[in-house]
Structure 1
Amino acid sequence: MMQARKTAHRWRSVLALVLLAPLVGEYLLGNTPISEIGALPLFVPLYGGGALLVREVARRTGRGWPTMLLLAAAYGLFEEGPVDQMLWNPHYGGIDFGLVYAGTHVPLLGTSVALLQDVVSMHMIWSICVPIALVEAFSRDPRRHWLGRPGLSVTAVVFAAGSLFLAAMQYAANDRFMASPRQWTVGVVLIAGLIIAAFCVGRRPTLPSTTNAPLPWRTGCAAFVLTSVYWIGQSLLRDHVPDWIMAAAWLALAAVAVIVGTGWSRRRGWGAPHRTALAVGALLTYVWVGFTHAADMGVPLATALTGNVLFGTGALVLAAAAVRSTRRHQESRHLGAPSESQARS
């Protein structure tokens, strides 16, 4: 009976993750309106399969969040490079990307530094890592993998098939644009470099800290502030600040996030409540950002706002449930339930 419950929980977790990744990455952000909810199955193999592969590969190899973050960054470059070719197409989706991102275009890279930064930010944080952290909040032991080898193999096949299908759709929809061999080479090298780096981190022992970790609500507030600052820069400052200064600001913001996050995660008492709080903070940023995209979604404003309200409300309910679940698991351990080692952050 206990084994049956564990199996059911794992499959619920898998289903939740493959659905949550596109719902956050596309619909909550406001890239796709609620009137196109029927397109969700098209996004599931790429977004959902990618998130599940990132999570399962990291957990099955005994690694944690540093590995997942780097694999998520590689996913972002893969989606917007080989799949969509947005990184290289100057007129992707009918938008003059070549002009919008011209200020930081680097011929050697074959794309724009600012575009690379945007792609990594959105997909690494919101398409992959936030959904993983929220679903793991409902698990007693987030280190356990959910899929066996057959399930992992099927996920990889579905992810590859979905990627090829969407790549063909984008190729046809964007006037059969095809990047140059140099652009493909640079893209593959960057993706491979991130994947290699992902397996060079995450298992090194760290010296224990005698300093207590901050309260979880403070880490959540920090995540909300940092991610909101990023989006405020995107919305209000990009047209008024030189492009390379914006790129440098992104690097500074990323450095602050890495330094502070790494330092906090090594402190005494850091655990699941903090990771859930970080995910919730970032999720709440997408709630307000989605409303700023309402006028640009290509549907009546009332339709766009209806979607913002529904998906935003769903995000708030999910955030509250994730925090409550994490707290319940913590309390059960403190009351003498079988202990679980904290997942490496």
Structure 2
Amino acid sequence: MLLLVLSPLVAEFLLGDFPITKVAFLLFVLPMYGCGAILIREIVRRTGRGWPTMLVLALAYAVLEEGITTMSLFNPNYAGDHLLAYGLIPAVGMSPVWTIYVLSLHVVWSIGTPIAMVEAVAGTRRTTPWLGKIGFSVVAAFFVVGVAVTTASSLYQYPFVASLPQLAGVVVVLVALILLAIFLPRLAGPRTVLAGSAPSPWLVGVVGTLAALAFQLVERYAQALLPAWGLTLVFVVLWVGFLVLVAFWSAKPGWNGRHVLALATGAILNYAWIGVERVATGDVIGPLKVTPADVVGQVLLVVAMVALIGWGVFQLRKAGDTALPAAALNPVTH
């Protein structure tokens, strides 16, 4: 299944953690990323819910990975990068800057964007379940294996275990997010629709691209200019503003799959330039060494992603691309 491969490709390879020429690493990260994305999408579509539930479960995935599997939310020396040094709150052993940033990466890029792209390619089947009971059980089993393997690997590479209160806090947050996903409304009932029409997918794509670009540039350059609380506030403002705007747009008649794909396109374009830059400068996960073939491969990966988006646009048009509440990021659905 395309989503099985696309999620880890975007999360790790398009970002430039691994050059695409080291694609063998895909087998290691595929069970957790790919199976996690499939499970989230399948649960949402089987229960008749939409993108609000999808994103809540994506956040739960992010908390699981970074809070328990890698424990990067608490490890001050994770990957040797001192990720918590900027904005560390000693009382909880966390940095809000790193927490918001890394969880956002998973919600938007690891889970949300691959699902949006694959659903677009699916055309008329984009909001229907894709797995039977056996298939769902197999994917769930591989996901559990992936979580266990990734956790063991992380503990081996970076010997660190979060404190009991920290781990308990992660469990509480996970339970809260799962309960929130359960109690979010289904899409079968009446839907709030605002006056006017949804904007052009082109405008949505431009805004999504600029929002993702602002998020990445702020994280990269604002640390030298702002205190940690200031950057945290900027992150919150960016997120709240973007979600409110998309919720407003998606509540208007005419919002459909092309709008969702436009948002995913903005996310892909931002990961694309970051990944090419990282591979070109050798800023990949050590001890990997970059060769000219890696740079060429990274550019070809970007081209393949753009081609996949184009295929999604074609499939949506072929399917009629009617406005479907299930395809909308619409928190006001009730």
TM-score (norm 2): 0.91
CA distance in 2, matches of 1:66, 1:312: 28
Query: Which residue type is aligned with residue 147 of structure 1?
Result: L
| Residue 50 (structure 1) aligned with residue 40 (structure 2) | no
How far did residue 195 of structure 1 move? 1.8
> Match of 2:35, SS?
helix
Query: Which residue type is aligned with residue 32 of structure 2?
Result: L
CA distance in 2, matches of 1:80, 1:94: 16
Q: Give the corresponding residue for 2:292.
A: 302
Query: Which residue type is aligned with residue 210 of structure 2?
Result: V
| Residue 330 (structure 1) aligned with residue 320 (structure 2) | yes
Q: Give the corresponding residue for 1:238.
A: 223
CA distance in 2, matches of 1:160, 1:150: 16
Query: Which residue type is aligned with residue 247 of structure 1?
Result: T
> Match of 1:137, SS?
helix
CA distance in 2, matches of 1:56, 1:317: 25
Structure 2 residues not aligned, in runs of 5+:
329-334
CA distance in 1, matches of 2:171, 2:294: 36
Greater CA drift, 255-264 or 232-241: 232-241
Q: Give the corresponding residue for 1:3.
A: none
Question: Comparing both chains, which one has the higher relative contact order based on Cα–Cα distances under 8 Å and sequence gaps of 6 or more?
Answer: 2
2:170 aligned to which of 178, 182, 187: 187
1:154 aligned to which of 132, 138, 147: 138
Q: Answer whether contact 1:88 1:111 (CA < 8 A) is retained.
A: yes
Query: Which residue type is aligned with residue 71 of structure 1?
Result: L
The 1:186–1:308 alpha-carbon spacing in structure 2 relative to 1, beyond 3 Å, is: same
The 5-angstrom pairing of residues 12-161 of structure 1 reads: 15-99=1-85, 101=86, 103=87, 105-139=88-122, 140-161=124-145
How far did residue 260 of structure 1 move? 0.5
Query: Which residue type is aligned with residue 268 of structure 1?
Result: P
| Residue 258 (structure 1) aligned with residue 247 (structure 2) | no
| Per-residue deviation, residues 213-272 of structure 1 (Å, max 9, x unmatched) | 001111111111100110111222222222111110000000111100101111011111
CA distance in 2, matches of 1:109, 1:265: 37
The 1:216–1:317 alpha-carbon spacing in structure 2 relative to 1, beyond 3 Å, is: same
Q: Give the corresponding residue for 1:290.
A: 275
Counting aligned pairs with the same residue, the percent is 35
Q: Give the corresponding residue for 1:269.
A: 254
Q: Answer whether contact 2:46 2:128 (CA < 8 A) is retained.
A: yes
The 1:326–1:108 alpha-carbon spacing in structure 2 relative to 1, beyond 3 Å, is: farther
| Residue 201 (structure 1) aligned with residue 184 (structure 2) | yes
CA distance in 1, matches of 2:20, 2:220: 22
Greater CA drift, 121-130 or 188-197: 188-197
TM-score (norm 1): 0.88
Query: Which residue type is aligned with residue 145 of structure 1?
Result: P
Structure 1 residues not aligned, in runs of 5+:
1-14, 334-339
Query: Which residue type is aligned with residue 34 of structure 1?
Result: I
How far did residue 59 of structure 1 move? 0.7
> How many residues align structurally?
320
Q: Give the corresponding residue for 2:303.
A: 313
